[in-house]
Amino acid sequence: MTTDTNPIENENKNAPATDPGPRFGSRRKALIVVVGAILISGIVHGYLDGRWVDQVDVQALGSELNQLPEKCGDWELVAETDLESNAADLLQCYGSTVREYVQPATGQRVNLAVLFGPRGPIAVHTPEVCYSSKGTEPAGDRVQAAIAGSDRFWKTQFKQRGANQNHLEVWYGWSDGGAWQAVDYPRVWMTDRLYKIQVASALNQETGESPINDFLQDFLPELKSKMHP
């Protein structure tokens, strides 16, 4: 009969498998949480910026904005330009049109920009930011303005820095292809892409009013025919 003469070796054979202990388990859980947070953050950021949109389709949709008519009711197109290259890069537009219309009978003019692009960039660029960099400042809080039907826009006025009288009015809003809306947080809109409209006009210094309401009533039906949900 043989006997085991090495007690140390015998003890090692009978010892249980090493237990990594609670510290290893906590580290593994922490790693899983960190990796999951990174993945979710990337997905959310891509969604907010419209990164997952089919570029070929949206470019075709955006090109329809260039087909808007030169005459809308009493308003006639007098100038059309491309969106400035730095703005186009910033907004990542799939399509845009920048125009000036005049009402011959009154001589009143409006400057118009219609943009179509990924929700994130289109949502954050507002007139309060744009015009404040051009020597003007908001003259009071923005208010909502309604056009016949369900369309709603933000309306705000500006004045030259240091001036006492307002000189400019701007209306703007967003749409997913349906009604125009004046919302506080368009960046979290549940859609991949948005349309944005911005209309500016000088104020009548006697009445303090602008012709934007009249212009939009003539222009919006034409614009909606080129928009897609």
What letters, b where the CB count within 10 A reaches 16 and e where it falls short, cover 148-181? Answer: eeebbbbbbbbbeeeeeebebbbbbbbbbeeebb
> Looking at residue 8, what is its pLDDT?
45
Average pLDDT of the chain to the nearest whole number: 83
> Looking at residue 53, what is its pLDDT?
47
Alpha helices in 63-164 (DSSP H): 85-91, 119-124, 127-132
> Looking at residue 229, what is its pLDDT?
83
The upper half-sphere exposure of residue 227, i.e. CA atoms within 13 Å in the direction of its Cβ, equals: 24
Q: pLDDT per residue over 210-226, tens digit each?
A: 999 999 999 999 999 99
What's the pTM value of the predicted model, to 2 decimals? 0.74
Given a contact cutoff of 8 angstroms between Cβ atoms, the answer to whether 103 and 211 are in contact is: yes
> Looking at residue 87, what is its pLDDT?
84
> Looking at residue 126, what is its pLDDT?
87
> Looking at residue 131, what is its pLDDT?
77
Which residues of the chain fall below pLDDT 50? 1-2, 7-8, 10-12, 53-56
With CA atoms as reference, report the closest residue to 70 among 227, 228, 203, 218. 218
> Looking at residue 34, what is its pLDDT?
66
Q: pLDDT per residue over 38-52, tens digit each?
A: 766 655 555 555 555
Alpha carbons 218 and 200: distance in angstroms, whole number = 15
